[in-house]
Structure 1
Amino acid sequence: MIPDFGFEFQAMGTVCHLRLCAPGEAEAAASAQLAIDEVRRLEAKYSRYRPDSIVSRINASAGSGERIAVDPETAGLLGFADNLHEASEGRFDITSGILRRVWDFKAARVPSAEAVAALLPDVGWPLADWDGETLALQRPGMELDFGGFAKEYAADRAAATLHAAGIAGGTVNLGGDVSLVGPHPTGVPWKIGIAHPRRTGEVVASIDLAHGALATSGDYERSFEVDGHRYCHILDPRTGWPVTHWQSVSVVGPACLASGALTTIAMLMGDDAHAFLREQGVAFLTIDADGRLHREMPAVDLSAP
């Protein structure tokens, strides 16, 4: 029987875990390092905190009229974001990161309506002049932020790297966004837990997966409460204010990148989330603002929320 080995590391602002099946620990460790290197490559490439990243280069040129040429990998991600903006009717917008200038979740302070409104003219993917190869942010102060999908993309890339290295079975878990390398060699699927949105460290449900990916978005990851009202980091780019309808949304799909984007859009769609997810043909589990659990997902082991 081929054993499995676990590895933990920090990347993209979260705790990451790998579970890999390999003949021995040395083989597993070598493959794990390849996956870790791939995650950290993408973190460096798309971090808005690094002045040498492609995202920082694009942001620094905002309003200058300069067109920034991007490599094929980045072009693919920008094309993905472009398609999602259209499919979500503007809810998925990678220019909305500038809203963090007034939303300080560490300080737990609600900004004024005027402060939020002042940023909205600089939010809007149509203001990013994207031609498929080059991009120019038309207004000074605009920014791109890949935070809405970089981690999920990195999970997929790490899983692909492990598969190419000869790992037939395993999981890549980047802060709760999971991409499967493949089932355990015994044929047993992996049991993946879904975090409880109100009980830190607890699992609200678990699902058996052998292939594909699981992603979750929630109002608990970065949030605060004031006068009994919860404010979370998922902001509607059309209004600048946080979502309130769902505590969490989890989606199972063929890739973590797509699953993660769908969870974010669903969080932003309110009452229309279930209909939207059904149209996408994915399995999902949601928890509404009152803590009620809704699921259209096979083989889910549920605990009481």
Structure 2
Amino acid sequence: MKPIKPLAPLSYRLKPAEQGRAGLDWRADFLAMASPCQLLIQGVEQPIAEQLARLACAEVQRIEAKYSRYRDTNLMATLNKSAGVVVSIDYETWALLAFADQAYRLSDGLFDVTSGILGRVWHFDGSARLPEQSSIDALLPLINWPAVHCWQASDGGQFFQMPAGMALDFGGFAKEYAADRALAAMASSGLPGLGPLLVNLGGDMATNGVLFPEHQWHVGVEPGILAGNGGQMAAFLLTLSSGGLATSGDARKFLKKDDRVYGHILNPKTGWPVAGGPRSVSVCANTCLESGLLSTLALLQGQEAETFLAGQGRQYWLQW
């Protein structure tokens, strides 16, 4: 494996928050995980806000560098090139794989982190180019989460094994996980005067709460994506007081042919986009990770998305 080059610190721009308290409320904008991102930091002076922003950006960058499938020298590349060899993994990776296993079981196999291999033939760039059925069929045998083995040894070590030709893709939850971890990095920093915080990674959000019960974070939602960065017309507004909020949909990743829109949520059993479901699903839950999982699982249900969500005991919004 090639040596991993250290990354330059993630660049962000800190400025006073719109309609915030002068000198106490801040907004940091940056790009990560192929998305416009934002931190909202309340109740601290600029030096503390700078430290908090650095902590959050460093955590997002760490997770992207470790788990992105678009890098060829990171841990994800090592796992995807392992070709049946047993690989020692750290606890964080083992826990994320355990989460993936839980998602697979909850969805009856519709949420499968080995289905990212379909990205070799599906390119959701807004065009009308659909893959050939033969190209999809060639990949379906490689989508098989039960063939992946993860275990803990008696000495506490964690291990991973995956057949040759298969590949993992954490794209279905990495951004949500990063939002939760960035929030945790700031909230556990021990810096003085810590107030309300909100992390927005391309529409996947996590917050530690609000200053007063009557205060809320106001979030604009456009079809398929949360638009907290301004400059875009929101379809409707949501309020968030704590926990996580995530939206899944087809606003940015889609194909369109013969007046039909093909969203990027793929059924791993057929290799084709799920048909008949809502354009987008937004879910509030205890964490951004849970919110993102429920919103994606709902889209995977197609026409039964609302029936699925109604049984989860979480607040949700659909756009058809």
Q: Return the alpha-carbon distance in structure 1 between the equivalents of residues 145 and 312 of structure 2.
A: 22
- Residue type of the alignment partner of 2:301: M
Asked if structure 1 preserves the Cα contact closer than 8 Å seen for 2:224 and 2:248, the reply is: no
Tell me whether 1:261 sits opposite 2:285 in the alignment: no
1:48-74 deviation per Cα after TM superposition (whole angstroms, max 9, x unaligned):
122232211110013xx2111211111
Q: Return the alpha-carbon distance in structure 1 between the equivalents of residues 262 and 313 of structure 2.
A: 30
Residue 14 (structure 1) aligned to one of 35, 57, 65: 35
Q: Return the alpha-carbon distance in structure 1 between the equivalents of residues 224 and 109 of structure 2.
A: 26
1:113 Cα deviation from its structure 2 partner: 1.3
Match of 1:204 in 2: 235
Displacement over 6 Å in runs of 4+: none
Tell me whether 1:284 sits opposite 2:298 in the alignment: no
| 248-257 or 160-169, which deviates more | 160-169
Q: Return the alpha-carbon distance in structure 1 between the equivalents of residues 135 and 143 of structure 2.
A: 14
Structure 2 length normalisation: TM-score?
0.84
Asked if structure 1 preserves the Cα contact closer than 8 Å seen for 2:94 and 2:150, the reply is: no
Match of 1:195 in 2: 222
Asked if structure 1 preserves the Cα contact closer than 8 Å seen for 2:67 and 2:75, the reply is: yes
Residue 136 (structure 1) aligned to one of 154, 161, 179: 161
Q: Secondary structure at the match of 1:172?
A: strand
- Residue type of the alignment partner of 2:133: A
Asked if structure 1 preserves the Cα contact closer than 8 Å seen for 2:280 and 2:319, the reply is: yes
Asked if structure 1 preserves the Cα contact closer than 8 Å seen for 2:180 and 2:288, the reply is: yes
Q: Secondary structure at the match of 1:246?
A: coil
Q: Secondary structure at the match of 1:230?
A: strand
1:130 Cα deviation from its structure 2 partner: 2.4
Matched residues, percent identical? 42
Q: Return the alpha-carbon distance in structure 2 between the equivalents of residues 114 and 141 of structure 1.
A: 17
Asked if structure 2 preserves the Cα contact closer than 8 Å seen for 1:219 and 1:232, the reply is: yes
Q: Secondary structure at the match of 1:267?
A: helix
1:242-268 deviation per Cα after TM superposition (whole angstroms, max 9, x unaligned):
123210000000000011011111101
- Residue type of the alignment partner of 1:250: S
1:224 Cα deviation from its structure 2 partner: 2.1
Q: Return the alpha-carbon distance in structure 1 between the equivalents of residues 224 and 177 of structure 2.
A: 23
Q: Return the alpha-carbon distance in structure 2 between the equivalents of residues 207 and 10 of structure 1.
A: 23
Residue 47 (structure 1) aligned to one of 68, 72, 88: 68
Residue 85 (structure 1) aligned to one of 104, 108, 128: 104
Equivalenced residue count is 285
Match of 1:302 in 2: none
1:109 Cα deviation from its structure 2 partner: 1.2
1:229 Cα deviation from its structure 2 partner: 1.1
Residue 240 (structure 1) aligned to one of 271, 277, 291: 271
Match of 1:163 in 2: 187
| 218-227 or 78-87, which deviates more | 218-227
1:109-138 deviation per Cα after TM superposition (whole angstroms, max 9, x unaligned):
101111111110000211212225322112
Question: Which residues of structure 2 form unaligned runs of 5+?
Answer: 1-20, 153-157
| Counterparts of residues 2-151 of structure 1 (less than 5 Å) | 3-62=24-83, 65-106=84-125, 108-132=128-152, 133-138=158-163, 140-151=164-175
Asked if structure 1 preserves the Cα contact closer than 8 Å seen for 2:223 and 2:319, the reply is: no
Q: Return the alpha-carbon distance in structure 2 between the equivalents of residues 269 and 47 of structure 1.
A: 26
1:204-235 deviation per Cα after TM superposition (whole angstroms, max 9, x unaligned):
22222121110000022211211111122111
Asked if structure 1 preserves the Cα contact closer than 8 Å seen for 2:114 and 2:167, the reply is: yes
Asked if structure 1 preserves the Cα contact closer than 8 Å seen for 2:60 and 2:181, the reply is: yes
Residue 182 (structure 1) aligned to one of 197, 209, 215: 209
- Residue type of the alignment partner of 2:297: I
1:143 Cα deviation from its structure 2 partner: 0.3
What RMSD over aligned residues (CA atoms) do the two structures have, in Å? 1.9
1:192 Cα deviation from its structure 2 partner: 1.5
Tell me whether 1:173 sits opposite 2:194 in the alignment: no
Q: Return the alpha-carbon distance in structure 2 between the equivalents of residues 197 and 157 of structure 1.
A: 24
- Residue type of the alignment partner of 2:296: T
- Residue type of the alignment partner of 2:140: L
Q: Return the alpha-carbon distance in structure 1 between the equivalents of residues 211 and 24 of structure 2.
A: 9
Q: Secondary structure at the match of 1:115?
A: helix
Asked if structure 2 preserves the Cα contact closer than 8 Å seen for 1:67 and 1:135, the reply is: yes
1:274 Cα deviation from its structure 2 partner: 2.0
Structure 1 length normalisation: TM-score?
0.88
Question: Which residues of structure 1 form unaligned runs of 5+?
Answer: 289-305
1:181-222 deviation per Cα after TM superposition (whole angstroms, max 9, x unaligned):
221368511112222349992212222212111000002221
Asked if structure 2 preserves the Cα contact closer than 8 Å seen for 1:36 and 1:158, the reply is: yes
Match of 1:298 in 2: none
